[in-house]
A = this chain, B = another copy of it.
Amino acid sequence: MSDTAAEPTRAAPPAPPFDAPVVAVWRGDLVESVHRGRYVVRDARGKTLDSLGDPEGYVYLRSAAKPFQALPLVFSGAADAFGLTSEELAVACASHSAEPRHLRVVRSILRKAGLSEDDLQSGAHPPMHALSAARLARSDEGPRSIHGNCSGKHAGMLAVCVHAGWEPAGYRDPEGPLQKLVRRTVAKLCGLEPEQVRIAGDGCGVPVFALPLQNLAWGFARLAAGGAEDFPEDLLDAVARVRDAMRAHPYMVAGTGRFDTRLMETADLVAKSGAEGVFAAGSPEASWGLALKVSDGASRAVAPAALAALVRRGLRVPAEVGAVVDLHGETVGKVASLTHGDLEAASGGKNLRRSRSKL
């Protein structure tokens, strides 16, 4: 060939996949459905230790932001002014099940701030705790704002407003002083400028935040580590107190049988899941933060995927295999995380039987 022959074009390496299969739902010998996701693990300095899929893609934090959203309750001085307990701090970070104890603790925050349930603007939904929901359904009352899983967060936000002299009725306003402070705080923890944190409407009526998945991981690494070197004293104190409140009161952060509760009762982590398949956790001991997003938003995939990622971090947690049970109570399948060897089985339609998930 002559010198003027064109060199074969070197194709750009293919972009890494945005996400990858993380959980398979088996029925009998075949994979019935597959959940894809992404995750990132970072240390407290922001160095990425592990990742799957695109770490830069934005994720709506949903309730995983609650520990950050609760920080102003402490660094504003409100928590001390009102004499809030560690348990009350924990419920301010919670997606609680609205069991009787959760409601008592939420009411306690409101009472201490000179407010009541009537000041909550969190929107009503039945308790996440099935038994409590059934009791409520059999009574003549409908669900109220306090039964909503976010009512602790809202109570905490109201308390900040009362302490700071801001109009409590405006606490949800994205342009009001509280929500702007919350946004700055979320940005600060996650290593971003406030304008890099996107805003939309959450389910409960306050702003919800979106930011790159890797920054959520960084935020939880810092939450677990008790902050960062450049944080002011009052923020450092707030981070440590919020982190420790969650770890001391896992039941408050969620409730009976809930994943976040069971995880924090079992492992030395600060953990918080969010709607649409979001999960974040931090290890105070090992100073890392993990952020996971199930791409399709499925809640059933969170525990298997999160536990698999935590096992990769060396945690001794039980690998969770959710049984798929028919109406007769017979097990007909399972929901299980995928090992790399199973990716082909799950994604290749013709070979669904070739390998089973190994946990």
Chain A positions near chain B (C-beta within 8 angstroms): 1, 8, 18, 25, 27-30, 32-36, 54, 56-58, 60, 121-125, 134, 137-138, 148, 198-205, 208, 210, 212-213, 276-277, 294-298, 301, 326-328, 330, 332-333, 347-350, 352
Contact = CB atoms under 8 A, between A and B. Distances in A.
A56 B352 CA distance: 11
Contacts of A296: 33-36, 296, 298, 301
Given A30-B198, A33-B276, A123 B58 contact: no
Nearest to A54: B349
Contacts of A32: 60, 276, 297
A8 B54 CA distance: 31
Contact of A58 (B203, B326, B349): B349
A40 B214 CA distance: 37
Contacts of A199: 28
A336 to B, nearest CB: 14
A34 B277 CA distance: 11
Contacts of A29: 198, 200
A349 B297 contact: no
18 contacts: A18-B348, A18-B349, A27-B60, A29-B198, A29-B200, A30-B60, A33-B297, A35-B296, A54-B350, A57-B348, A121-B328, A138-B138, A201-B326, A201-B333, A202-B332, A203-B326, A203-B332, A297-B298
A335 to B, nearest CB: 10
A223 to B, nearest CB: 23
Nearest to A34: B295
B33 A36 contact: no
B30 A327 contact: no
Contacts of A121: 328
A332 B201 contact: yes
A319 to B, nearest CB: 21
A178 B54 CA distance: 50
Contacts of A57: 348-350, 352
Contacts of A198: 28-30
Please provide the 3 A-B residue pairs with the shortest distance between their CB atoms, ordered closest to farther.
A57-B349, A123-B327, A28-B200
Contacts of A350: 54, 56-58
A1 to B, nearest CB: 5
A181 B15 CA distance: 49
A35 B199 CA distance: 22
A56 B200 CA distance: 40
Nearest to A121: B328
B201 A58 contact: no
Contacts of A148: 327
B326 A205 contact: yes
Instruction: Tell me which of A36, A199, A301 has the highest count of chain B C-beta atoms within 10 A of its own C-beta.
Output: A36
A340 B179 CA distance: 37
A13 to B, nearest CB: 13
Given A58-B349, A349-B54, A349-B58, A326 B200 contact: no
A56 B123 CA distance: 46
A296 B138 CA distance: 35
A123 to B, nearest CB: 2
